Amino acid sequence: MIPAWIKAARKVKNWLRSKYVPLMAIGAAFSFTIMMYNVPIPGGTTAHAVGGGLLAVVLGPWAAMICVTIALAIQALLFGDGGIWTFTANCFNMALVLPFVSYAIYRLISGQCELNAPRRWIGAAMGSYLGLNAAALCAGVELGLQPLLFHTAAGIPLYCPYPLGVAVPAMLFAHLILAGPLEAVVTALVVRYLQSYDVNLLNLQALAVAPSASTTPFASYRKFWWVLGVLIILSPLGLLASGTAWGEWGADELQKMLGFIPAGMQRLAGSWTHAPFGDYSLPGFASFWSSALVYILCAIIGVGIISLLTYLFWRFQAAERQDLEMKQKES
């Protein structure tokens, strides 16, 4: 992922000097929040949308990569969600594969049509659906290869215990029937709304590099912040889905499923125990309503940190640009 992140940073350099940088904060916060909405899958597991396809359509795939990476980093470090050891694998699947597949499909379907044409939201929906399932396929392959590559002399898996024939269908089933359609519907609705609200927001990659682009306060996108606030308040709906997402089991869950904990996973399980809000919870808050309040608090903390980091970058770039303009005037 390191070369991809470097490339992305160079590609979005103009965004950090434009009036659209607050949208990157909103995009990263949206991805973080929507991943808190777990969807129940038949069989007792769950899945979730990512928002990477929508971000790729609006911000471009490189900016989407940075947004999703930030969201995944906050999840792993503060909430123990996704894990530290799997962080870059998650970024490869959800921050690289998902946005770029989504954007390629979107461009293929929309072509050079008008920004307010139906092909735009249709292409965005199809791109998001296929992008999320491409990411799920990658995750299934990564999990399914583990028993083949990493096992004891007796053939006992050290990590994920299920082979490709189980892992790939399990991952695709969850995302083809529920998580994928959810991602597609959300993307289509937002793109359709943008076509009515401000169609230029679907052409940001061209506008952001325009010489006239200047910084715009975060409050200028007030409507989007309000929508994000509603998503935060409703985030406890994600608690209604019981079960763990396939492949995201903890050591205790594997003990119940298999009767043992794979040795490699057991060795790494306690290596990162510093997440202050592990599993988006706090000790002593066991009832649904108290858990819901903590869940909302976690969403606020995550969105707040993402917004703060982006705001600091924005202020730094604004100050740097003002200094440069002053020097040019003096010369």
CATH number of the CATH domain containing 150:
1.10.1760.20
The CA-based diameter of the chain, rounded to the nearest angstrom, is: 75
Q: Residues 6 or more apart from 273 whose CB is under 8 A from it? A: none
Does 262 fall in a domain?
A: yes
Length of the chain: 331
- Could you tell me the two tokens for 179? 């998580």
Helical residues (DSSP H) of 175-278, grouped into ranges? 180-197, 204-207, 222-233, 251-258, 263-269
- Parent domain of 97: 2-234+242-326
Q: Does residue 190 lie within any of the structural domains?
A: yes
Least confident window among 71-85, 208-222, 309-323: 208-222
How many domains does one find in the chain? Answer: 1
Asked, for residue 331, whether it belongs to a domain, the answer is no
pLDDT tens for residues 276-304? 878 788 777 766 678 889 999 999 999 99
Q: Would you state the pLDDT for residue 217?
A: 53
pLDDT of residue 209 exceeding 60, the answer is: no
Residue 129 tokens read as: 């659906």
Query: How far apart are alpha carbons 209 and 67 in whole angstroms?
Result: 19
pLDDT-derived band at 6, boundaries 50, 70, 90: very high
Percent of the chain with pLDDT over 90: 47
Q: How far apart are CA 19 and CA 302, in angstroms?
A: 23
Residue 211: which pLDDT band, with cuts at 50, 70 and 90? very low
Tell me the chain's radius of gyration from C-alpha atoms. Answer: 21
Residue predicted with more confidence, 49 or 275 = 49
Reduced to 3 states, what is the DSSP secondary structure of residue 176?
A: helix
Read off the pLDDT of each residue in 182-206 and give the average, rounded to a whole number: 87
Contacts of 268 (CB under 8 A, 6+ apart): 85
Instruction: Taking residues 201-210, report their average pLDDT.
Output: 68
Q: What is the pLDDT of residue 212?
A: 47
C-alpha closest to that of 82 among 129, 130, 127, 50: 50
Res 54 pLDDT > 60: yes
Per-residue pLDDT for 204 more than 80?
A: no
Query: Higher confidence at residue 208 or residue 235?
Result: 235
CB 285 within 8 A of CB 7: no
Q: pLDDT by residue (tens digit) across 229-288? A: 999 999 988 888 777 788 888 778 888 888 888 888 888 876 666 778 787 887 777 666
Q: What is the pLDDT of residue 191?
A: 94
CA distance 231 to 53: 18
Task: Answer whether residue 300 is part of any domain.
Answer: yes
Q: Residue 198 has what pLDDT?
A: 81
